Amino acid sequence: MNGGQIGNVDLVKQLNSAAVYRLIDQQGPISRIQVADVSQLAPASVTKITRQLLERGLIKEVAQQASTGGRRAISLTTEVAPFHSIAVRLGRDYIQLSLYDLGGKELASAEHEFLYAQQPQLIEGLLGHIKAFIAQHSAQIDQLIAIGVVLPGLVNPETGVVEYMPHIDIDTLDLGDILREHFHVESFVGNDVRGMALAEHYFGASQDCQDSILVSVHRGTGAGIIVNGQVFLGSNRNVGEIGHIQIDALGDKCQCGNFGCLETIATNPAIIKRVTNLLAQGYESSLAGIEPLNVETICQHANQGDELAKQALVQVGNQLGKAIAITVNLFNPQKIVIAGQITAAPEIIFPAILRNVHNQSLKTFHRDLPIVASAVDKQPTKSAFAMIKRAMLNGVLLQKLLED
Ligand SMILES: [Zn+2]
């Protein structure tokens, strides 16, 4: 949240509206009196803000039987059905799009192969895919309130400027503004792994805690750190590069130029490469002859007891565990969430991770630390929707809707 300018009347207005909306969203149905109590706003302010929210259709009144009997109390709850958003996950060679209502219900989705080698192709293709998706689902869309895009790379989430992508050259890609101008709707752009950590916090495995770390193992390895219910970004907005923690000084060369980074072992391509090499050397395995190999198949065979597949995954779990132990010592999280196809072999991966976390982090930090599989992994666009949800809860998008 861009803040710190207390005294700015508009910001105070935005924060107060957000506080009221947040309470109704998270604790509704809730009465105006309870909202005033919990938010510590003056009852007159609460009345004014709820009137605005009601007029905009963002909340509604519901009659609730008072627990003491007697007359029915009027409570407030959010209205989510008429407000729609498009959430996009941009991969290195694919694009996934979903239509969500404001309650986070996915109403439609699509996935396409999407190859782009240069920035202009990326912009043109992205706009084209979103436009076609909106056209295709126009009958389902009532009010389009926002577009969210997550992508691999470094993004300034406040300005929506993409500063770096791992696979193509980027020259200050002002994607937030481009989307806003093109579709005339609020737009949010962010890093995919950080977005996923936020999605776990709002909708998934880490809903029950304020401090959590998501570790994602896909094409690359990244982490999203949630501290006090917010994505931890730092002032340069670039943290969580767990994939470049060195775990083997004599390891393979990494794309970053260093040697033995976690990414040289704990990514899908690295796992496949290692298994392929072992098979080529003649190791016995039920995987022999299977082509193309993927991590899901390796997990299946490991689950069925194939020793080579098992050992390959144990090695990944061990190295992941070492890197996670470092983050545990640094952040003392309440939960670790693991995303990626490797979680399809839970009885092999999780014990290996746990063993290493236990060996290499402080006992008081890891004693009650659950390490669990992602709950939103199968719905990757949820990470883009999470940014839209955040913008409602912190008031950035909410205020725009109220001013419409
Ligand atoms: Zn590296």
Tell me the per-residue pLDDT of 154-201, one tens digit each, with 9 for 90 and over: 898 888 999 989 889 999 899 999 999 999 999 999 999 999 999 999
CA 391–ligand 1 middle distance (angstroms): 33
Q: Supply 56's token pair.
A: 């905009």
CA 127–ligand 1 middle distance (angstroms): 32
pLDDT band of 241, cuts 50, 70, 90: confident
pLDDT tens digit string along 91-107?
999 999 999 999 999 99
Task: Please indicate whether the domains covering 83-197+381-394 and 207-373 agree at the CATH topology level.
Answer: yes
CA 269–ligand 1 middle distance (angstroms): 14
pLDDT tens digit string along 313-359?
999 999 999 999 999 999 999 999 999 999 999 999 999 999 999 99
pLDDT attached to residue 157: 81
CA 377–ligand 1 middle distance (angstroms): 24
pLDDT attached to residue 11: 87
Torsion angle of the four alpha carbons 253, 196, 385, 232, in this order, in degrees rounded to the nearest 10:
-100
Q: Provide, rounded to the nearest whole percent, the portion of the chain with pLDDT above 90.
A: 82
CA 50–ligand 1 middle distance (angstroms): 50
CA 262–ligand 1 middle distance (angstroms): 7
pLDDT greater than 70 at residue 390: yes
Q: Give the 3-state secondary structure of residue 185.
A: coil
Closest CA to 108 of 82, 80, 84: 84
pLDDT attached to residue 1: 45
Closest CA to 224 of 199, 187, 258: 199
CA 120–ligand 1 middle distance (angstroms): 28
Going 110 to 115 to 118 to 121, the CA torsion angle's sign is: negative
pLDDT attached to residue 270: 96
pLDDT band of 2, cuts 50, 70, 90: very low
- In this predicted structure, which of 42-51, 68-77, 136-145, 314-323 has the lowest mean pLDDT? 68-77
Going 111 to 113 to 119 to 123, the CA torsion angle's sign is: negative
pLDDT attached to residue 71: 63
pLDDT attached to residue 167: 86
| DSSP summary character for residue 399 | H
pLDDT attached to residue 255: 84
CA 37–ligand 1 middle distance (angstroms): 50
CA 260–ligand 1 middle distance (angstroms): 7
**Mean pLDDT over the full length of the chain:** 92
Is the domain spanning 9-78 CATH 1.10.3720.10? The answer is no
CA 353–ligand 1 middle distance (angstroms): 20
CA 250–ligand 1 middle distance (angstroms): 13
Closest CA to 240 of 172, 369, 330: 330
Q: Give the 3-state secondary structure of residue 141.
A: coil
CA 221–ligand 1 middle distance (angstroms): 10
pLDDT greater than 80 at residue 265: yes
CA 263–ligand 1 middle distance (angstroms): 6
In the chain, domain spans: 9-78, 83-197+381-394, 207-373
- CA atoms of 227 and 380, how far apart (whole Å): 22
> Of residues 153 and 52, which shows the higher confidence score?
52
pLDDT attached to residue 6: 45
CATH T-level fold of 83-197+381-394: Nucleotidyltransferase; domain 5 (3.30.420)
Is the domain spanning 207-373 CATH 3.30.70.980? The answer is no
| DSSP summary character for residue 344 | G
| Non-local CB neighbours of 314 within 8 Å, separated by 6+ positions | 348, 352
